[in-house]
Amino acid sequence: MAAGGVGIVSARPARELNLLNRPDELPDPVIPNFEKATGITVKSTPFSQDDELIAGLRATGGEGFDLCQPTRDRALQFKELGVLGAFDVNKLPNSTNLVPSLFNGSTSVWSWDGGLRHLPHCWGTEAISWRSDRTVLEYRNLSFGTLWEDQYRGAVQGRPDALLLGIGLWMDRTGRLPSNRMLDAYKDEESMTAIYDVILKFAIDRRAWIRQFWGGADDAKTGFTENGCTIGKTWDGPALSLKKDGLPIGYMAPQEGAITWLDGWAIAKTAKNLEEAYEFLNYLMTPEVSAQIAEGSSYNPVVAGVHAHLSQQARKSFAEAYPEDALLRLWHRPPEPSWFAALRVRYAGRYRAALQEA
């Protein structure tokens, strides 16, 4: 080229990452900080529950998304769905930061066809939350059955299928309906039907206790702040976030054990931005960022070494939510077969319909 001539500069293509994610599990400044540090634009498509996520991926075949956020217990359904790729663990050096027991929670049920298809992101529970300015509850006698006491008639919130599960755990602990802590319901359709028919009848008989069904974190919050709920069965994140903001909200595991879940990341077979996806995952698996996720969402971190980065308030809230032997009583959601999922949705629908007819 002649001196003084005009050179041609090839611009680097814009980098982006497309997420199908739970918005409350990526609180600010997690995404903005990543974008600033890397120049990668993150496009987020929110969803609230796994059934919604599965329906969206089934409709698109995963097209348009790089990473999505399934819960551990949905492994069997995602295996059948066939829209996920396997992680190249060699590109995930920060996976060594994961708490081994939680990493095993993913590898134990999300590994098939020679590849791992799930990485932990955060864990949490579904237990009892309440307005502490309206009622007083103590761990020694707190139960999923507490929701159905006369004093809470017309003031209870929860998700239909989760309320049914809680009733089953309570009935099992009190000897009303032996079910091996509800694990017998996962054996086969006949066993599940026999157990859930009893549970559903009780729930419908107590339909006057329900103030609202919630579908996502924001709904659960407004149940307490705007819709007149005194008590509910909710995720820990929404309740503890309200508590952190100074509202009179309590959250605690019951005697049956808090229902425990592990949310993680999966990569779509059709992912177009693989380099960006791995960069994002390694970023999330650092103690500093995992602590930001825990502080902002009020869910629990999956990375070792986070404790030093958490506020005193977060540590105090965790201790109050799981007092005494509560962590030993946790009820971990088992992998859910497709037939179970279909029946669970059907029972939840019947429960919902009974309230609409009332």
The percent of residues above 70 in pLDDT, for the chain, comes to 96
Residue 169 forms part of a structural domain: yes
Residue 22 forms part of a structural domain: yes
The pLDDT tens digits for 241-264 are 999 999 999 999 999 999 999 999
The structural domain count of the chain equals 2
Residue 5 forms part of a structural domain: no
Residue 270 forms part of a structural domain: yes
199: CATH: 3.40.190.10
- Alpha helices by DSSP H, the chain: 30-38, 50-60, 75-81, 100-107, 160-173, 189-205, 217-225, 236-244, 274-284, 287-297, 312-321, 338-357
Q: Are residues 147 and 294 in the same domain?
A: no
The pLDDT tens digits for 269-320 are 999 999 999 999 999 999 999 999 999 999 999 999 999 999 999 999 999 9
Q: Are residues 228 and 302 in the same domain?
A: no
> Which of the residue ranges 36-45, 47-56, 118-127, 342-351 would you say has the lowest mean pLDDT?
47-56
Residue 3 forms part of a structural domain: no
Domain hosting 349: range is 125-259+327-357
Q: Are residues 232 and 284 in the same domain?
A: no
> For residue 13, what pLDDT is reported?
76
Would you place residue 331 in the very low, low, confident or very high pLDDT band (cuts 50, 70, 90)?
A: very high
Q: Are residues 336 and 278 in the same domain?
A: no
Residue 7 forms part of a structural domain: no
Q: Are residues 182 and 62 in the same domain?
A: no
Average pLDDT, the chain: 95
Question: Cα separations (Å) of 320 from 154, 239, 252, 296?
Answer: 27, 13, 7, 18
